[in-house]
Amino acid sequence: MDSMPAFELKRPSSVAEAVALLAADPQARLLAGGTDLVPNLRRGIERPPVLVDLGAVAGLDAIVTAPEGTWIGAGVRLSRLAADPSVAHAWPAVSQAAGAVAGPGHRSAATVGGNLCLDTRCVFYNQSEWWRASNNYCLKRGGDTCHVAPQGARCHAAFSGDLAPALLALDAEVELVATRGTRRIALADLYRDDGAAHLTIGRDEVLTRILVPAHASGRASGYRKARARAAMDFPLAGVACAMTLADDGTLRTLRIALTGTNSQPIVLAGTDALLGRRIDDELLGTVGKLVQKQVSPMRTTVTQSNYRRQVAAVLAQRLLQALAEPASAPASG
């Protein structure tokens, strides 16, 4: 890796101070755990003149229960989220996703907000400065061609955050704060299908907390991922599922979300047509076909795209089948 570029470090003590610093310098970047940003700094991918460190901002590490649901602060460490028994009980998918991120050292530093806002990744992008220069810069940073799809007009770098699909499956929302005010949006609206600009968040906005709605606590849920190395890698494909069963064993609700295959985490379309049916081989076959049709893995990793497509489908099928087991099925209500 290259040496760290020079930058000025700002340490605000409040969200208001943080957004003011962002508004004052459009090139400033937020720093939370640093597990994604710091490697990009050392590779020369990012060279912000100012880093706004959120580590001292009060309240970002809180988990608070309210009538509308549970608010998870963007500064909550993934290690804490993975180890919290109340999280594991209410939303197993969130606990499992947090525990599947990298290794213990990374999880002790990485934050919820950072994982949700993780930069997209590609084998042509996440390289040293000299490698990218010698191989012609890609469309995502410094070039005019996506080496994954040279005939296309956009970047196909893949989003690989683990928490996003788990929270998407639970209908989560996020709170964004800027100098002009606060807004609350569906988590799905935080993303767009463009590897070079996959976040809709403004440069002067801070993601402060995430709402898991109260109705999500009654769902059986889980998260599974495939990766090249079990100890630390980003997902080649990751799947989260949340569901409830009626008294007769048929599906009452079903929501499936995926990561690692597209430039944004996606919520699987077409699952409403499966409601009222039992989870059998025919339904699992339909789920597999839906996944294979909607994921679009490209040559962003050294693993073949078609393999990742098939893995995503199998992960979804196995996870849904596991959640349908009597021991995992939630009580109806």
CATH number at residue 30: 3.30.43.10
Interval 54-73: pLDDT, tens: 999 999 999 999 999 999 99
Q: Tell me, what's the pLDDT at 189? A: 98
Does some domain include residue 33? yes
**In the structure, what pLDDT confidence band is assigned to residue 4 with cuts at 50, 70 and 90?**
confident
Q: In sequence order, which residues have a C-beta less than 8 Å from that of residue 299 and are 6 or more positions away?
A: 123, 148, 305
The reported pTM is 0.95
**In the structure, what pLDDT confidence band is assigned to residue 155 with cuts at 50, 70 and 90?**
very high
Number of domains in the chain: 2
Q: Tell me, what's the pLDDT at 217? A: 82
Q: Are residues 238 and 90 in the same domain?
A: yes
DSSP-assigned letters across all residues of 205-272: -EEEEEEEEGGGGGSEEEEEEE-SSTTTPPPSEEEEEEEEE-TTSBEEEEEEEEESSSSS-EEPTTGG
Q: Are residues 216 and 82 in the same domain?
A: yes
Q: Tell me, what's the pLDDT at 331? A: 38
Q: Are residues 199 and 102 in the same domain?
A: yes
Q: Are residues 50 and 96 in the same domain?
A: no
Q: Are residues 72 and 200 in the same domain?
A: yes
Q: Are residues 173 and 48 in the same domain?
A: no
CATH of the domain at 236: 3.30.390.50
Q: Are residues 291 and 177 in the same domain?
A: yes
Q: Tell me, what's the pLDDT at 45? A: 92
Domain span holding position 193: 63-117+158-323
Q: Are residues 77 and 201 in the same domain?
A: yes
